[in-house]
Amino acid sequence: MTQTTCHMSVSLDGFAAGPDQSREHPLGVGGQDVHRWHLGDITDPADIAARDWLLRPRGAYVMGRNMFGPIRGAWDEDWRGWWGDEPPYHAPVFVLTHHARESIELEGGTTFHFVTDGFDAAFAQATATADGRGVDIAGGASTVRQALSAGVVDELVLDIAPVLLGSGERLFDGVDDLCLSPVEVLHSPLATHIRYRVER
């Protein structure tokens, strides 16, 4: 059976991104502080281990359109993601959107496929494509909430940064009856990394 994972950074007050996400502020205003633990040179052993959790190879990914880029509505420009010509996924990525678009194949094995018929359809395609090598729910917060509500996540890693954002995109709003069992906890000055097993 394909294991489904999710790895998200959040502020102490539960926000995965700050307010006013835009091209200039892809993580929202102040949101970059939540992700400092893996941006730039990483030297703390806990952050290095958490980065290795984050970057472990998966067979396929599911992400929301907001995670893919800042464009809203119809695809009126040739946006190819935040990551340049070689994104870090190296596997098929299924992007949730209301607006159809042809797939985009980039270097390193990443192909973005755009799915217009909802989370369940994207997850089914990702699971079939992964062929037992694991699916990761890459974000953003809305897509993670849908995955948790659907009961498909087996392992959730939270990187909790000592930052208060006050507003933005909360990770767990509207998610009911979630039961998490801690498996491993690592600490650094920039984040507490907790790996949970999701109980059903």
Bridge partners (DSSP) of residue 64 are 96
Confidence at 176, pLDDT banded by 50, 70, 90: confident
Distance of CA 126 to the CA centre of its chain: 14
pLDDT at 70: 86
Tell me whether residue 75 is in a domain: no
pLDDT at 124 over 90: yes
Tell me whether residue 119 is in a domain: yes
Tell me whether residue 78 is in a domain: no
pLDDT at 10: 97
Quick: pLDDT tens for 32-71.
999 999 988 999 999 999 999 999 999 999 999 989 998 8
- For residue 189, what is the domain's CATH number? 3.40.430.10
pLDDT at 163 over 90: yes
Q: How many domains does the chain have?
A: 1
Confidence at 26, pLDDT banded by 50, 70, 90: confident
pLDDT at 200 over 90: no
3-state secondary structure of 137: strand
Least confident of 107-116, 149-158, 174-183: 174-183
Tell me whether residue 80 is in a domain: no
Tell me whether residue 39 is in a domain: yes
Tell me whether residue 77 is in a domain: no
Stretch 12-19: mean pLDDT: 94
Domain that holds residue 104: 4-18+28-69+86-199
Computed over every residue of the chain, the mean pLDDT equals 94
**C-alpha gyration radius of the chain:** 16
Task: Please tell me the distance from the alpha carbon of residue 33 to that of residue 37, in angstroms, as a whole number.
Answer: 8
Stretch 62-91: mean pLDDT: 91
Confidence at 1, pLDDT banded by 50, 70, 90: low
pLDDT at 2 over 90: no
Tell me whether residue 181 is in a domain: yes
Confidence at 77, pLDDT banded by 50, 70, 90: confident
Q: H-helix or E-strand containing 67? A: helix 65-68
User: What is the spatial order of strands in the sheet that 104-105 belongs to?
Assistant: 104-105, 111-115, 92-96, 60-64, 135-139, 4-11, 155-161, 192-199, 179-187
Tell me whether residue 193 is in a domain: yes
